Structure 1
Amino acid sequence: MALPLPEHVDVLVVGAGPVGALAALKLAEAGRQVALIEARPEGAPVRDARALALSWASRAALADAGVWRDDLGATAIDTVHVSQQGGWGRTVLSRDDLGLPHLGVVVDYPSLFATLAARLAEAALPIAWGTRVAAVDPLSAYARVTLQGDDGERVVTARLVVLAEGGELVDGLPGLTRRVHDYGQAALLAEVASELPHRGVAYERFSKRGPLALLPRGDGFMLVWTRTPEDARELRDGDPAELERQLAEAMGERLGAFRVAGSRALFPLTLKQASRRVARRVALIGNAAQTLHPVAAQGLNLGIRDALALAAALAGAADAGDAAALSAYERARALDSGAVVGFTHQLVRFFDGHGPLLSAARGLGMNLLDAAPALRRRFAGHLVFGVGGASLDGMV
């Protein structure tokens, strides 16, 4: 049973998913009085089809916070194979490039969420389950937060409000706006099995029908395929044989035949990016700061680095909402966030186009990256540790 929510706390975190939970745990570890708000009711089954691709650095951050467990059923990613259908050129990134045990892992969201909830309970952090934030009113010394739950409406205050979810609240904060770009696409998710084993290889394939990723998951894969909304709906609801045929066409013979082995789902794809990460008494991390296209599988990893950077920036501040500390957080995340958001957005445009000249340019870029070990290691390091990450600078 969750502890009751106090009327006032040092830090109120909105969202108890991986990013919000990590931020709460790190801030509590530093001695802050922390509480969380989560829209999902306590104990409600998590029916989320996503398999999360975590970099090795993100997995290490969760392990350091006491979240990661060996029984999560994670599948290791040792190699990332990038190629395009109907054109030359490819890049292969390996754990050996960085001297790491693995480049990353794939874990089911429901399993990770359950572990997060157990760790938060163990840490005795108050959580208001089944509660939504109706408004955030930043004042000079604290922020007033209006909550709505089954028991009605109430107001709590906090020295700092951390939005890990609830990006729609950004539009009501002083000095903040959101850039929203609708890609006009949907991500089709499907559990698939292949005739040949994956051997720890994740595939990024820029097919003629749209970019796709095959993430190793158990003995099979989680397919994430960017399609038009109409295509995605047809493949989700239609005969699985049609999805199997199109996937085999896109991937060639490298994995043999495919079989749809589980559920299928789709998500609309939109880029959302806040103009700033901080307002008075408010900090944005994770999905509240940026929501990315899944083509490079960087959204969650970027959010985890947000949480770590915020905890580090607040480490020496007597007041959790100290303006100088929040400005330091914003500066610390500017390079990594700007680079990853920009790279992901341009990647969608570059690899979603067609034509012989564009195909040749893509092939040349992939081959040049593959043939230059130092450049390939740095690129792999950016994906694992972020742009400008301290761990990257010490390893590459």
Structure 2
Amino acid sequence: MPRHLPDHIDTLVVGAGPVGALAALKLAEAGRKVALVEARPEHAPVRDARALALSWASRQALVEAGIWRDDLPATAIDTVHVSQQGSWGRTVLSRDDLKLPHLGVVVDYPALSEALVTSLAERALPVAWGTRVTAIDTLSAYARVMLKSDAGESEVTARLVVLAEGGDLVDSLPGLSRRVHDYGQSALLAEVKCDKPHDGVAFERFSKRGPLALLPRGDGFMLVWTRTPEDAHELRDGDPAELEKQLAEAMGERLGAFHLSGARAVFPLTLKEVNHRVSRRVALIGNAAQTLHPVAAQGLNLGIRDALALAAALKGSADAGDAAALASYERARHLDSGAVVGFTHQLVRFFDSHGPLVSAARGLGMNLLDAAPGLRRRFAGHLVFGVGTQSLDKTP
């Protein structure tokens, strides 16, 4: 048996990333006995180039769970500027639309991971580091989980298994299947600086070469550019001047000249979505439930809302794997998840065409949204709080 993991546990969370750790902490806060399984070794450095865009609501959820610390390096997003290259039309979303301190924040994945490890240790939650789940057998009263680590193979039973990662296990669970759509695209990530300050503005630009986001990060930006796999790898490995040139062409002169200031990385882009979030005594959250295209920066925010909804659904339930409570969780996440996944997927398709009529339609849509305060506020609220949420309804 992996170190610190009991033979039987009330709730076993698979994945100690932001979504899994949040779920574990919220469930433990409600009185559940919780343990986690994480494939990464405990002290292994996190080599992940991503900068995470968290909505203000997601950031506040991490604050309330004790994960977010005042000294965590983060950059505020106060405005989101949406436009398209070579055509008219734009939309500007502001924190003033929702009367919030900020629309969101940008934080590096390694920094957030370190805060997560600290929070789990402070709460003394058992974590089996360097351990993978190889199979799950769901029974009427509990689930049996097969584990593999350097110490060998073992198993543990749990009233409820929460899959925050390990989406490949979905295909073996009763009644579950995944829809997989390969976009045939890759995300190019790069740290860039420019001549003008970002002033807390995040840019969403639908360029002729593919949609890109510039997320404010420190005194520069994190670039996330959707390209063909061939383009992405050439720009990652090639002369920095070529990427700087193409970025300047896509963005114009609004920020001045661009300068690469750090490493570049490439990630393939695929949509993965499950047909159900519950299979007997297994609940799916985060990446195990859905993996999104980064065009709208909603993947992690959606996962955080999954974790909060699961903890809320199980509150007061004597049995962590109670079928009625888990059914309530699935119903609670149906509207928000379906709307965000569908919106993100259609957004990629809509902005993948560049004919004059399509560009004009996009421009008209952005201008209409920009000119209608009520509609713009509603749209911004969906991005920050989710679709059909109580928090959105109470926003001033």
Same fold by TM-score greater than 0.5 = yes
1:128 & 1:395 partners in 2: Cα distance?
A: 40
1:97 equivalent in structure 2: 97
1:213 & 1:389 partners in 2: Cα distance?
A: 26
| Aligned-CA RMSD value | 0.7
1:205 & 1:37 partners in 2: Cα distance?
A: 39
2:227 equivalent in structure 1: 227
2:23 equivalent in structure 1: 23
1:113 equivalent in structure 2: 113
After superposition, give the CA deviation of every residue in 1:121-167 in whole Å (9 maximum; x if it has no partner). Answer: 00000000001000010000000000000000000000000000000
1:308 equivalent in structure 2: 308
After superposition, give the CA deviation of every residue in 1:208-240 in whole Å (9 maximum; x if it has no partner). Answer: 000000000000000000000000000000000
Count, aligned residues = 395
> Within the alignment, does 1:217 sit opposite 2:217 as a pair?
yes
1:148 & 1:120 partners in 2: Cα distance?
A: 22
1:274 & 1:218 partners in 2: Cα distance?
A: 36
Q: Any idea what SS the aligned residue of 2:197 has?
A: coil
Superposed displacement of residue 72, structure 1? 1.3
1:281 equivalent in structure 2: 281
Mark the runs of 5 or more structure 1 residues left unpaired by the alignment.
none
Q: Is the 8 A contact 1:3 1:125 kept in 2?
A: no
> Which residue type is aligned with residue 84 of structure 1?
Q
2:3 & 2:11 partners in 1: Cα distance?
A: 15
After superposition, give the CA deviation of every residue in 1:290-338 in whole Å (9 maximum; x if it has no partner). Answer: 0000000000000000000000000021000000000000000000000
2:183 equivalent in structure 1: 183
1:66 & 1:147 partners in 2: Cα distance?
A: 29
> Which residue type is aligned with residue 379 of structure 2?
F
1:79 equivalent in structure 2: 79
2:395 equivalent in structure 1: 395
> Within the alignment, does 1:261 sit opposite 2:266 as a pair?
no
Q: Any idea what SS the aligned residue of 1:382 has?
A: helix
2:48 & 2:70 partners in 1: Cα distance?
A: 21
Superposed displacement of residue 259, structure 1? 0.3
Superposed displacement of residue 389, structure 1? 1.1
Superposed displacement of residue 70, structure 1? 1.6
> Which residue type is aligned with residue 127 of structure 1?
V
After superposition, give the CA deviation of every residue in 1:258-304 in whole Å (9 maximum; x if it has no partner). Answer: 00000000000000001100000000000000000000000000000
Q: Is the 8 A contact 1:75 1:218 kept in 2?
A: yes
Q: Any idea what SS the aligned residue of 2:394 has?
A: helix
Q: Is the 8 A contact 1:42 1:129 kept in 2?
A: yes
1:245 & 1:70 partners in 2: Cα distance?
A: 37
2:230 & 2:164 partners in 1: Cα distance?
A: 31
Superposed displacement of residue 354, structure 1? 1.1
2:284 & 2:351 partners in 1: Cα distance?
A: 30
After superposition, give the CA deviation of every residue in 1:228-256 in whole Å (9 maximum; x if it has no partner). Answer: 00000000000000000000000000000
1:13 & 1:357 partners in 2: Cα distance?
A: 49
1:26 & 1:353 partners in 2: Cα distance?
A: 43
1:248 equivalent in structure 2: 248
Mark the runs of 5 or more structure 2 residues left unpaired by the alignment.
none
Q: Any idea what SS the aligned residue of 1:135 has?
A: strand
> Which residue type is aligned with residue 235 of structure 1?
L
> Which residue type is aligned with residue 329 of structure 1?
Y
> Which residue type is aligned with residue 328 of structure 1?
S
- Report the TM-score when normalising by structure 1: 0.99
Q: Is the 8 A contact 1:53 1:106 kept in 2?
A: yes
1:383 equivalent in structure 2: 383
> Which residue type is aligned with residue 255 of structure 2?
L
1:246 & 1:273 partners in 2: Cα distance?
A: 33
1:296 equivalent in structure 2: 296
Q: Is the 8 A contact 1:3 1:124 kept in 2?
A: no
Superposed displacement of residue 359, structure 1? 0.2
2:317 & 2:233 partners in 1: Cα distance?
A: 50
1:46 equivalent in structure 2: 46
Superposed displacement of residue 3, structure 1? 6.4
After superposition, give the CA deviation of every residue in 1:52-86 in whole Å (9 maximum; x if it has no partner). Answer: 00000000000000010121110000000000000
Q: Is the 8 A contact 1:192 1:261 kept in 2?
A: yes
1:266 & 1:159 partners in 2: Cα distance?
A: 39
> Which residue type is aligned with residue 81 of structure 1?
H
> Which residue type is aligned with residue 354 of structure 2?
H
After superposition, give the CA deviation of every residue in 1:191-215 in whole Å (9 maximum; x if it has no partner). Answer: 0001100000000000000000000
1:143 equivalent in structure 2: 143
2:80 & 2:56 partners in 1: Cα distance?
A: 13
> Which residue type is aligned with residue 71 of structure 1?
D
Q: Any idea what SS the aligned residue of 2:344 has?
A: helix
1:246 & 1:304 partners in 2: Cα distance?
A: 34
Q: Any idea what SS the aligned residue of 1:70 has?
A: coil
